Amino acid sequence: MLKFSCHLLVLRVFISCVGLVGNVFLIFCIIQTKTSSIKTFELFLLGLATANLEEIAVVNIYDFVILQRSYVVWDVWLCRSLKFLMVLGEISSILFTVLIGVYRYQKLRDANKRLQIPIYLDNIRAARKVIQFSIGISILLSAPVFSMEVPGPTGNLTGNHTWNQTGCQLDFFLCSSDRCPSMNRIYKYAFILLCYLLPLVVVTLTSCLIVAVLLGQRTAVKPVASVSGSTQTEGFRKVPRFHRSTVAVLAAMVLFQLDWTLYLVLQMVFNTTDFTFWIELEFFLSTSYTSISPYALGIGKSFFAMKNFWKN
């Protein structure tokens, strides 16, 4: 069991390092862009990478500073602050994923009819307002953490060794069925509905719409191709194709759907307190998206091209 725990720890360190490097490099590539040249999509990527980085950092601060060194945290406010920061990063990452998907769908929809006319979110000022609104929603949904009851170190949390060691359970949702405060239970199901289920539905619907638009655009090119070679080339220029950035967005959205669908199934169907390694499983589910998504989206926008490593 000890050897298995060491392997899990090594795997967690590796995933965390991959996520930290990817998000930091994505942020670096975006902030070195001239302010006048930055676009809405890049602003959304910057927000996503920042939220991912914050979540990964907080989880590892808790794990290595508190859990691994077996510090006993008696300060309730410190415990709640750690949870608040983790939830804030998690919700922000989810909301920025929703914004990226919705924005890309709006850019693709009716692209032939709209031509070069920008959509509402192409306006940087409007995009910043949407980002500020999303951050405000994240803070609002994370704030109830400070009013929730925090059981003491002797709480009956079966199957969870971390609480008894540290006195600070980072996951407030992990409480036994016979001893779970009402506020915790209400917040758990409201949080799952608003922060997991609803965004998951929106992301799934948006990804399906993006695929439908792209397939429709490919079909619309075929009649043009039968006229002549010149009109075929002109038609392909006017009709958006399966370009790399859109594929990257779809890949990130599929990863998002897989991770959070599995998380919801485990939360709603099973009693997570029966899993000894639930904390580790939850870490892998949430961190796999925050670690891989910057690479998928960054490669799609050519941020991870070799020329960016040598750019001054």
The CATH number covering residue 170 comes to 1.20.1070.10
Give the model confidence (pLDDT) of 56-83 as tens digits: 998 888 776 665 555 555 567 777 888 8
What's the sign of the alpha-carbon dihedral 289, 136, 29, 17?
negative
Domain count, the chain: 1
The pLDDT, as a whole number, for residue 186 is 82
| Predicted TM-score of the model (pTM) | 0.82
pLDDT band at 107 (very low <50, low <70, confident <90, very high): confident
Q: Which of 20, 94, 76 is nearest to 256 (CA)?
A: 94
Question: What is the average pLDDT across 104-115?
Answer: 76
Q: Evaluate whether residue 98 is within a structural domain.
A: yes
pLDDT at 19 over 70: yes
Q: Which two tokens stand for residue 111?
A: 């692209």
**Range of weakest confidence among 112-116, 145-149, 158-162, 185-189:** 158-162
Tell whether the model's pLDDT for residue 29 goes beyond 90.
no
The mean per-residue pLDDT over the stretch 96-122 comes to: 82
Residues in the chain: 312
Task: Name the strand (E) or helix (H) holding 35.
Answer: none
Residue 232's identity, in one-letter code, is: Q
Q: What percent of the chain has pLDDT over 90?
A: 27
Q: Which amino acid is at 38?
A: I
The H or E element containing residue 282 is helix 278-300
With cut-offs at 50, 70 and 90, classify the pLDDT of residue 47.
very high
The pLDDT score that the predictor gives to residue 228 is 46
Per residue in 219-273, pLDDT tens? 655 554 444 444 444 443 444 444 778 888 999 999 999 999 988 888 777 666 6
DSSP state of 151: -
Give a yes or no: residue 60 inside a domain: yes
Instruction: Report if residue 7 sits inside a domain.
Output: no
Residue 292 lies in a domain: yes
Angle CA 90–96–101, to nearest 5: 130
H or E stretch at 70: none
* C-beta atoms surrounding 218 within 10 Å: 14
Domain assignment present for residue 116? The answer is yes
3 occurs within a structural domain: no
**Quick check: 43 pLDDT over 50?**
yes
In a domain, 1, yes or no: no
E runs forming strands in the chain? none
